[in-house]
C-alpha cells in the first residue's frame, strides 16, 4: 500500500505557486520597454517608407531633368523655327499687300483687250458702226454701305501698312465708278445678234451685256436692224460691281454673270 497524500499539503503547495514576489514597478517597466520597442519599430517602418518615397521622387526628378536637358537643343531649334515662320508670314503678308497694290495699278483692263473680247465673237451678219467706252459714276444709293464697326475699322486702318492704306483709298475711289461700253451696229439676223450678246456675257472681262434698243433700218437698208448694246466691264482687282449694272460679281468669278434682255 502506498502512502496517501494529505489534503493539507496540496493546498499549501498551490498557495506557494500563486505567490509573485516581483514588485509592480518592475512589471510596469517591462510593459513600457515593450511599448517603446513597438513604437521604435513603427517609427522605423514609417521612416523607411518616407525615405523610400523621397528616394523614388529624387530618382524621378533626376530622370526628368536629364530628359529636359536632352530636349533643350531641340526645343531651342523649334523656337528658332517658330520665329522664322512668324517672320516669313509677316514677309508674305507684306509682299501680298504690295502685290495687291501693284495688280490694282494695272487696272482697268487694257482697251485693246476689251476690243478683242468684243470683236472675237462677231459673225458675218453683224456690222459694228460705233463703239464708245465711258467711265460712269455710281449712284450714291447703290454704293456699299459703311461698316457698323467703325471703331474696329479705324483701329485696323491705323495698324495697316502704307501699301494697304493706298490700296484701300484707291479701292474706295474705284468703287464709285464703273466702265461701260456702248456699241451700235446693224444686223441682218436678230437671232445672231442675241447669240452674239450671249457670247459677250460669257466673257471673263464683261460683267453684263444687254440689248439697249432695236429698230428697223431705213427703206434703202431693207432687212437690216439697227441695235444698240450696253456692256458693263467687270471690275478689276479689289473692285466691286454696283447694283446699277444689275450684277454683283468679283473679278475672281468666271461664271456667267451677264444677261440678255
Query: CATH number of the domain that 220 lies in?
Result: 3.30.1360.100
71, 106, 141 - which closes a domain? 106
78 and 121 both lie in a single domain: no
Residue after which a domain boundary falls, among 74, 106, 138: 106
The predicted model gives 72-87 an average pLDDT of: 91
Q: Please indicate, yes or no, whether residues 74 and 132 belong to a single structural domain of this protein.
A: no
Residue 78 lies in a domain: yes
Residues 89 and 125 grouped into a single domain = no
Q: Same structural domain for residues 212 and 117?
A: yes
Residues 163 and 175: their CA atoms lie apart, in Å, by 18
Domain extent, residue 66, equals 23-106
Confirm whether 215 is domain-assigned.
Answer: yes
In a domain, 255, yes or no: no
In a domain, 93, yes or no: yes
**Does 5 map to a domain?**
no
**Stretch 211-222: mean pLDDT, rounded?**
74
Q: Do the domain assignments include residue 152? A: yes
Are 130 and 181 found together in one domain?
yes
Q: Which of 3-17, 23-37, 127-141 has the lowest mean pLDDT?
A: 3-17
Given this model, what pLDDT does residue 20 score? 59
- Residues 6+ away with beta carbon under 8 Å from 99: none
Model confidence at 246, pLDDT cuts 50, 70, 90, reads: very low
Which of 43, 73, 106 is a domain's end point? 106
Same domain, 124 and 78: no
Least confident of 90-104, 125-139, 226-240, 246-260: 246-260
pLDDT, greater one: 174 or 132: 132
pLDDT at 155: 66
In a domain, 261, yes or no: no
Tell whether the model's pLDDT for residue 86 goes beyond 90: yes
- Weakest-pLDDT range from 112-116, 139-143, 193-197, 207-211: 139-143
User: Looking at the predicted structure, is the pLDDT value of residue 130 above 70?
Assistant: yes
> How many angstroms from the chain centroid is the CA of residue 32?
77
Q: Domain tally for the chain?
A: 2
Based on the domain organization, do 83 and 148 belong to the same domain? no
Looking at the structure, do residues 119 and 206 belong to the same domain, yes or no? yes
Per-residue pLDDT, 30 = 77
Q: What is the pLDDT of residue 230?
A: 93
Same domain, 32 and 149: no
Considering the domain architecture, whether residues 90 and 195 belong to the same structural domain is answered as no
Same domain, 241 and 119: yes
Residues 191 and 96 in one domain: no
Residue 16 lies in a domain: no
Amino acid at each position: 500500500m502506498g502512502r496517501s497524500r494529505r489534503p493539507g499539503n496540496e493546498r499549501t503547495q498551490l498557495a506557494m505557486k500563486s505567490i509573485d514576489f516581483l514588485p509592480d514597478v518592475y512589471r510596469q517597466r517591462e510593459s513600457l520597454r515593450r511599448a517603446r520597442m513597438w513604437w521604435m519599430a513603427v517609427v522605423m517602418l514609417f521612416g523607411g517608407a518616407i525615405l523610400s518615397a523621397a528616394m523614388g521622387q529624387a530618382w524621378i526628378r533626376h530622370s526628368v531633368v536629364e530628359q529636359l536637358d536632352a530636349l533643350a537643343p531641340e526645343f531651342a531649334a523649334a523656337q528658332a523655327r517658330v520665329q522664322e515662320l512668324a517672320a516669313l508670314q509677316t514677309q508674305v503678308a507684306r509682299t501680298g499687300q504690295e502685290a495687291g497694290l501693284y495688280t490694282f495699278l494695272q487696272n482697268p483692263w487694257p482697251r485693246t483687250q476689251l476690243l478683242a473680247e468684243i470683236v472675237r465673237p462677231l459673225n458675218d451678219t453683224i456690222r459694228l458702226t460705233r463703239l464708245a467706252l465711258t467711265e460712269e459714276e455710281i449712284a450714291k444709293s447703290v454704293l456699299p454701305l459703311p461698316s457698323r464697326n467703325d471703331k474696329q475699322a479705324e483701329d485696323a486702318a491705323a495698324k495697316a501698312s502704307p501699301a494697304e492704306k493706298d490700296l484701300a483709298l484707291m479701292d474706295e475711289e474705284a468703287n464709285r465708278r464703273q466702265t461701260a461700253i456702248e456699241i451700235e451696229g446693224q444686223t441682218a439676223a436678230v437671232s445672231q445678234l442675241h447669240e452674239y450678246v450671249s457670247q459677250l456675257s460669257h466673257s471673263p472681262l464683261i460683267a453684263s451685256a444687254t440689248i439697249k434698243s432695236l429698230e428697223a433700218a431705213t427703206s434703202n437698208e431693207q432687212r437690216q436692224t439697227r441695235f444698240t448694246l450696253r456692256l458693263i466691264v467687270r471690275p478689276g482687282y479689289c473692285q466691286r460691281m454696283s447694283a446699277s449694272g444689275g450684277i454683283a460679281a468679283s473679278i475672281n468669278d468666271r461664271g456667267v454673270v451677264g444677261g440678255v434682255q
